[in-house]
């Protein structure tokens, strides 16, 4: 129940914090209720705006949304599967000891990282004459491989120097030490960041609108285009679906982070985790 950042709150502090919490919650709840009242006074919650999700055309609506989810997951999945190995390769080149490999790689990475994904998607379509799907996946791969490479590099550099030295000392070559000693540790250490980037990748599939790739958000827009009154309902439902998908991916990240942090030694991490456990898992803390 304690954190290294503050003492165990006494009765007075606990009371103040409780009162503060209650007042704060009331203010937030009031704001939400107020917003709902205003919106409903404008008819945004009228049945007519929402019945399209439950009436006879609902099957079509959900089918369309389902295809959208599928297209989003497909593009994100394929892009992630290509981007990750590519990111490892780029990272290897980036930390190479040979400067004429390292420096050009850095330039390329800097370029890929600085380009808007939506522009890269458009470029690929125009220059290489690909299908929208290939254009979206390529754009996502180019950008995310660069980010994965940077994350892994940070991971490798955070490792104690002794890891590599020990590897070299027992006669491993530089490449062998990287692959069998450093990367496995770096990947484990950076898993939360990697999974967080996966969520970004998933959300970035929505940039496919530029080449008419029919992912979830594009479907939401197409449905809202059918009738102005559907604008709000379609976007609310779209937001809910996205949050649901991404939260499942993020939960995975948190789960992995927790598993990993048990093994990771030192740092404030273990201390902060105590706080997290309180928030996320109400119940007895296992030690």
Partner 1 sequence: MKKAFITRRKSLLVAASAALALSLSACGGGGGTTTPPVASASFEAGTTMAKLNQAKKITIGTKFDQPLFGQKGLDGKPVGFDVEIGKAIAAKLGIDADKIEWVETVSANREPFIEQGRVDIVIATYTINDARKEKVSFAGPYYEAGQALLVNKDDNSITKPEDVKGKKVCSVTGSTPAKTIVEKYGAELVPAANYTACLEPLRNKQVVAVTTDNVILAGYVDKEPDAFKLASDETFTKEPYGIGLKKDDTVFRNWINDQLEEFAKDGTYKKAWEATAGKVIKTAPELPKIDRY
Partner 2 sequence: MDAIFESLPQYWDGFLRTLFLAVVSGVIALAAGTLLAAMRVSPVAALRGFSTFYVEVARNTPLTIIFFFSAIVLPRLGVKFEQFEVAAIIALSSYTAAFVAEAVRSGVNSVPVGQAEAARSIGMTFTQVLGLVVLPQAVRTVVPPLINIMIALVKNSSVAGAFFVLELFGYGLQLSNSHGDAVMWILIGVAFFYLLITVPLGLLAHFVEKKVAIAR
Residues that bind partner 2 (CB under 8 A): 3-7, 9, 13, 17, 20-22, 24-25, 28, 35, 38-39, 42, 44, 110-111, 113-119, 122-123, 126-127, 150, 154, 157, 192, 196, 199-200, 203, 206, 217, 231-232, 235, 238-239, 242-243, 246-247, 250, 266-272, 275, 278-280
- Give dist(CA 184, CA 159) in Å, integer: 11
Paired with 3 in beta bridges are 6
Residue 9 DSSP one-character state = P
CA distance 106 to 100: 10
Q: C-alpha angle with apex 206: 249 to 42, nearest 5 degrees?
A: 95
Site residues for partner 1, window 4-43 (CB under 8 A)? none
Residue 128 CB-density burial (10 A; 0-12 exposed, 13-18 middle, 19+ buried): exposed
Nearest alpha-carbon partner for 137 in 69, 88, 207: 207
From partner 2, partner 1, none, which one binds at residue 165 (CB under 5 to 8 Å depending on kind)? none
| DSSP-assigned letters across all residues of 66-131 | HHHHHHHHHHHHHHHHHHHHHHHHHHHHHT-SSHHHHHHHHHHHHHHHHS-HHHHHHHHHHHH---
Residues 202-231 interacting with partner 1 (rule: CB under 8 A)? 209-212, 214, 221-229, 231
Q: Which is nearer to partner 1, 123 or 258 (CB)?
A: 123
Closest distance to partner 2 from the beta carbon of 171 (Å)? 28
Q: Which CB atom, from 36 or from 222, has the smaller least distance to partner 1? A: 222
State the minimum distance, in angstroms, from the CB of residue 158 to partner 1: 41
Query: Is position 60 an interface residue for partner 1 (rule: CB under 8 A)?
Result: yes
Q: 6 pairs with which residues across the strands?
A: 3
Kindly tell me which residue out of 47, 97, 107, 170 binds partner 1, with binding defined by CB under 8 A.
47
Which residues contact partner 1 by CB under 8 A?
47-48, 51-52, 55, 57, 60-61, 63-64, 67, 122, 125-126, 129, 131-132, 209-212, 214, 221-229, 231
């Amino acid at each position: 129940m304690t954190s290294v950042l503050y003492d165990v709150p006494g009765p007075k502090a606990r009371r103040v914090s409780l009162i503060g919490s209650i007042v704060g919650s009331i203010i937030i709840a009031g704001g939400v209720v107020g917003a709902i009242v205003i919106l409903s006074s404008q008819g945004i919650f009228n049945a007519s705006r929402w019945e399209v999700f439950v009436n006879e055309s609902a099957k079509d609506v959900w089918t369309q949304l389902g295809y959208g989810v599928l297209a989003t997951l497909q593009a994100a999945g394929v892009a992630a599967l290509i981007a990750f190995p590519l990111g490892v390769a780029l990272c290897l080149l980036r930390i190479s000891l040979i400067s004429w490999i390292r420096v050009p790689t850095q330039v390329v990475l800097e370029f890929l990282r600085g380009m808007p994904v939506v522009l890269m998607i458009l470029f690929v379509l125009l220059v290489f004459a690909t299908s929208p799907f290939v254009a979206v996946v390529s754009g996502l791969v180019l950008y995310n491989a660069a980010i994965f490479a940077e994350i892994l590099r940070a991971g490798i550099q955070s490792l104690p120097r002794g890891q590599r030295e020990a590897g070299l000392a027992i006669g491993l070559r530089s490449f062998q030490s990287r692959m069998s000693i450093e990367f496995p540790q770096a990947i484990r250490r950076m898993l939360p960041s990697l999974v967080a980037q996966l969520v970004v990748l998933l959300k970035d599939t929505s940039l496919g609108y530029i080449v008419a790739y029919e992912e979830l958000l594009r479907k939401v827009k197409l449905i809202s285009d059918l009738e102005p009154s559907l604008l709000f309902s379609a976007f609310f439902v779209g937001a809910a679906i996205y949050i649901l998908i991404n939260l499942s991916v993020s939960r995975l990240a948190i789960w992995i982070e927790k598993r990993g942090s048990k093994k990771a030694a030192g740092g404030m991490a273990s201390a902060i985790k105590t706080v997290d456990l309180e928030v996320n898992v109400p119940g007895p803390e296992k030690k």
